[in-house]
Amino acid sequence: MAETANAAGAALLIFLTLVAAHVGQTVVEPIVFAIFIIALMFPLQTALEMRLPRWAALLVTVACALAVAITLSSLIVWGGGELVDWFAQNLERVKTSFEASTKWLEAHDVFVGALITEHANAGWMLGVVREAATRFNVLAGFALVVFVYVVMGLAETSTLKANIAAATNEDTASRLLRASARIAQKFHRYMLVRTVASLTTGALVFLFALAIGLERAAAWGVLSFALNYLPYIGSLVVTILPALFAYVQYDSAQAALLVLGALGVIQLVIGSGIEPVFSGTALAMSPTVVVFAVLLWTFLWGLPGAFIGVPIAIAVLTLCEHFPSTRWIARIAAGEAPRDTRDDGV
């Protein structure tokens, strides 16, 4: 009876937490992203503090975090710009391919052309531009808030660790500190897995595009690398778009299907096969939990949730693993058979 009550209480707490995360997305989301970045960068800051003054170590750490973010953003902007430039140079080919495809669809009672003509007017285009500008402003504001939290958090992390260690309940403080260190280790391992998978995906996509003569092969490779940090969603984008471009370039549905199939296999093997299994094994998480975390947080927070979903699951399950009352949750979600874990530490 007591176990049933504990399970019901845990389920209710999880549900209320998810509702709060969705309703308070504007407030909670930048804090979660900042904590994730701080966990990744704090070991670097700690190492630098052994050789530099604290303020200098903080400055270098923040500069490194900014350099990584700017590099990834620049790669996406460059790749997208290359594709927009190709689109502008091949506007007539795009128009011809669109007309041919709509005629084929209309012959099969699918009237896409009429639907687009009905909705793609000047008002619709203006609305798209306004929406894009709004989203850009929101993203810029979000990035600024995250940056402020990261700087403040890195400056205060050492003090926070000392305050936790000095807490009245020494056992709870010890467990929290061990769990925090373990979470940071898993975050580093997770990002290493994603980076290796992204580099492999980008290289394979580039080589395949080069082999079949698909134009702007470098852009496809770069976008495949950068967008692979968005599990499943980024992979879907860089699988469908090259197929559409191949249809226009070769004026052939067979070529489009070939590209779609080949890139689908690459993404399936790396993104849905090797990577979740390796991540789950390394992080003590079932591959099913990895996929579920991505889908859940994408539903709650959109594209940012697709990126941060797995780190959130890592943090929650690692915390559960370090406390006897919630250890059963970590064991259920583990990607391996449970080991003998005692209450004196994990």
How high is the pLDDT of residue 341? 44
Residues 6+ apart with CB under 8 A from 315: 183
Handedness of CA 290, 291, 294, 297 (dihedral sign): negative
Domain range for 90: 2-27+74-113+170-333
Q: Which residue has the tokens 């990607």?
A: 335
Query: Among 232, 228, 258, 230, which residue's Cα sits nearest to residue 245?
Result: 258
Q: How many structural domains compose the chain?
A: 1
Domain-embedded: residue 128 = no
Domain-embedded: residue 338 = no
pLDDT bucket at 345, cuts 50 / 70 / 90: very low
Domain-embedded: residue 139 = no
Q: 18-61, pLDDT tens digit by residue?
A: 888 888 888 899 999 999 999 999 889 989 988 889 889 999 99
Which has the minimum average pLDDT: 21-30, 84-93, 103-112, 294-303? Answer: 103-112
Domain-embedded: residue 160 = no
Arithmetic mean of pLDDT over the chain: 80
290-298: average pLDDT: 86
pLDDT bucket at 306, cuts 50 / 70 / 90: confident
Higher pLDDT, 70 or 125: 70
Which has the minimum average pLDDT: 106-115, 152-161, 321-330? Answer: 106-115
Higher pLDDT, 92 or 276: 92
Q: 166-179, pLDDT tens digit by residue?
A: 776 778 888 888 88
Domain-embedded: residue 142 = no
Domain-embedded: residue 145 = no
- Contact by Cβ (8 Å): 104, 112: no
Global pTM reads 0.80
> Which range, 4-13, 135-144, 199-208, 333-342, has the best average confidence (pLDDT)?
199-208
How high is the pLDDT of residue 222? 93
pLDDT bucket at 90, cuts 50 / 70 / 90: confident
Handedness of CA 271, 274, 279, 281 (dihedral sign): positive
Alpha helices, H only, the chain: 2-23, 25-49, 54-89, 91-107, 112-119, 122-165, 170-212, 217-227, 233-250, 253-269, 275-283, 287-301, 303-321, 327-333
pLDDT at 129 over 80: no
Domain-embedded: residue 143 = no
Which has the minimum average pLDDT: 218-227, 230-239, 270-279? Answer: 270-279
